[in-house]
């Protein structure tokens, strides 16, 4: 069983940081990019990084869910492999992937989301800082579960496993599509596990969100560190400049 992490990538200045965080995790990292975003990975030689280029998209609305659907519909999914979905500024807590491998007999694993200690006032969507905890099926609902909080076997994403006319996909309708996707997954199998004590660190690299190590719920967590690159280090850059020109 392999773990595939699908990343809706467009903050190019984070590419070295993501490589640094994921290279030791023994996963297959799929940055999903359009013709602009692909630049940092166009000469990639690392076998554990497998970029996928989708058609050109608008920003910011098309840059997340539509990318995932392009990948799911454009690649051969492996039945017994896990597939996870994450935005490019979030990260999983240390040791998470090793823990996830212990639950490879399940079709879907849901986890929790620690969203920082401050809400940055940077003009972006200001997600609340209250953690999102999933302990049971009733917790899987819009506004209580988000992207990066579920890992799904390939056979479930194919749709054939549960005799579906069409497989579960995100769509691209509104900001709650990740929650709707998680809810729809509940109807595909009863072989589900809630790994509620393990977390994705939501918007981990958003400046001003994760600021106080003493507020972390686990002592082995560290504050985010961004590796400099040739691209401008500006979390909001994509909203303000080049992407609106597409």
Q: How far is Cα 47 from Cα 69, in angstroms, rounded to an integer? A: 23
For 76-114, how does the pLDDT look when each residue is reduced to its tens digit (9 = 90+)? Answer: 999 999 999 999 999 999 999 999 999 999 999 999 999
Residue 150 lies in domain: 3-245
- Rounded to whole angstroms, how far apart are CA atoms 57 and 75? 19
Q: Domains in the chain: how many in total?
A: 1
CATH code for the domain in which residue 156 is found: 3.90.550.10
What is the DSSP code string of 170-195?
--SSSTTHHHHHHHHHTTT-S-EEEE
Helix/strand/coil for 16: helix
Residues 77 and 154: beta-carbon distance below 8 Å: yes
Beta carbons of 160 and 76 less than 8 angstroms apart: no
pLDDT tens digits for range 157-197: 998 655 555 789 998 766 788 999 999 999 999 999 999 99
């Amino acid at each position: 069983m392999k773990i595939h992490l699908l990343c809706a990538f467009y903050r190019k200045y984070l590419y070295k940081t993501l490589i640094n965080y994921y290279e030791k995790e023994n996963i297959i990292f799929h940055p999903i990019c359009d013709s602009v975003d692909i630049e940092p990975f166009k000469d990639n030689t690392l076998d554990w990084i497998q970029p996928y280029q989708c058609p050109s998209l608008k920003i910011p609305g098309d840059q997340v869910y539509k990318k995932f659907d392009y990948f799911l519909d454009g690649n051969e999914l492996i039945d017994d492999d896990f597939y996870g979905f994450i935005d490019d500024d979030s990260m999983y807590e240390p040791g998470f992937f090793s823990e996830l491998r212990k639950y490879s007999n399940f079709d879907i694993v849901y986890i929790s989301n620690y969203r920082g200690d401050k809400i940055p006032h940077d003009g972006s969507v200001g997600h609340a800082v209250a953690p999102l905890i999933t302990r049971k099926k009733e917790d899987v609902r819009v506004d209580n579960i988000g992207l990066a909080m579920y890992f799904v076997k390939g056979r479930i994403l194919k749709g054939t496993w549960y005799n579906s006319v069409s497989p579960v996909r995100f769509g691209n309708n509104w900001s709650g599509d990740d929650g709707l996707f998680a809810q729809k997954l509940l109807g595909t199998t009863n072989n589900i596990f809630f790994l509620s004590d393990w977390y994705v660190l939501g918007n981990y690299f958003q400046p001003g969100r994760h600021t106080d190590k003493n507020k972390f719920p686990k002592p082995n967590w560290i504050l985010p560190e961004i590796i400099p690159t040739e691209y401008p280090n500006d979390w909001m850059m994509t909203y303000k400049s080049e992407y609106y020109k597409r």
